[in-house]
């Protein structure tokens, strides 16, 4: 861990906590700063650290940059759900490429497949059914997104690195909460849960580069 990377990670953690407070207190102007700033700082940290594999780091940086674009789309006052979804879909593709470039363990891939199959049955199917009733035009994009984020989780498990697996699981949970809140039922603290799991997940994915 380099000094600049550690400083950027600390700043990202502080920015994330401020953003969580803003979400909880419904301070949208603060969210408009804290949300993209956190991803920008995490991207800077990924660029500043000394990675175990420079190729994996390059793809993770692409994923973080696309996530930042998705954050901006999803926080705009007007509904930019589809462009946000597309940005994060491409971010997960970049994470998949990064994990594959780093090498995958068959046992980890098998474990990841078991997890996503269980999640698909327990969460994915009910979510798609609800989306079909409330927003049929989004069923295709949402299904494609679910497939890609599931592939990301499988590849993270295949990396056989605990930090990467934990980060991917939290990212997966964050997206599941977004889908549940949009298509099934909103929850009082749903937005806060989304942001906490999202930032922790992205942060752990950055740390997995070490």
**pTM of this structure:** 0.93
Structural domains of the chain, count? 1
Which positions ≥6 away from 66 have C-beta within 8 Å? 87, 88, 90, 91, 94
Q: Which two tokens stand for residue 124?
A: 């994915």
Supply the range of the domain harboring residue 74: 3-207
**H or E element at residue 131:** helix 125-134
Helix (H, G, I), strand (E, B) or coil at 148: helix
Spell out the per-residue pLDDT of the chain, length 210, in tens. Answer: 899 999 999 999 999 999 999 999 999 999 999 999 999 999 999 999 999 999 999 999 999 999 999 999 988 777 677 888 899 999 999 999 999 999 999 999 999 999 999 988 888 888 888 888 888 888 888 888 999 999 999 999 999 999 999 999 999 999 988 887 777 777 778 899 999 999 999 999 999 999
């Amino acid at each position: 861990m380099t000094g600049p990377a550690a400083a950027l990670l600390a700043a990202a953690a502080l920015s994330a906590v401020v953003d969580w407070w803003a979400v909880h207190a419904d301070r949208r102007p603060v969210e408009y700063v804290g949300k993209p700033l956190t991803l920008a700082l995490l991207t800077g940290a990924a660029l500043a650290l000394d990675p175990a594999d420079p190729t994996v780091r390059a793809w993770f940086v692409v994923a973080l940059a696309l996530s930042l674009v998705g954050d901006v789309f999803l926080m705009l006052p007007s509904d930019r759900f589809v462009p946000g979804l597309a940005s994060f879909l491409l971010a997960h593709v970049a994470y998949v490429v990064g994990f594959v470039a780093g090498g995958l363990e068959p046992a980890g891939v098998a474990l990841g497949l078991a997890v996503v199959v269980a999640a698909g049955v327990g969460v994915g199917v009910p979510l798609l059914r609800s989306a079909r009733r409330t927003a049929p035009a989004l069923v295709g994009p949402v299904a494609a997104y679910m497939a890609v984020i599931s592939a990301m989780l499988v590849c993270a498990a295949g990396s056989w690195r605990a930090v990467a697996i934990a980060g991917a699981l939290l990212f997966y949970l964050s997206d599941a909460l977004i889908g549940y809140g949009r298509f099934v039922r909103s929850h009082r603290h749903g937005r806060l849960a989304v942001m906490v799991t999202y930032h922790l997940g992205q942060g752990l994915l950055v740390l997995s580069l070490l």
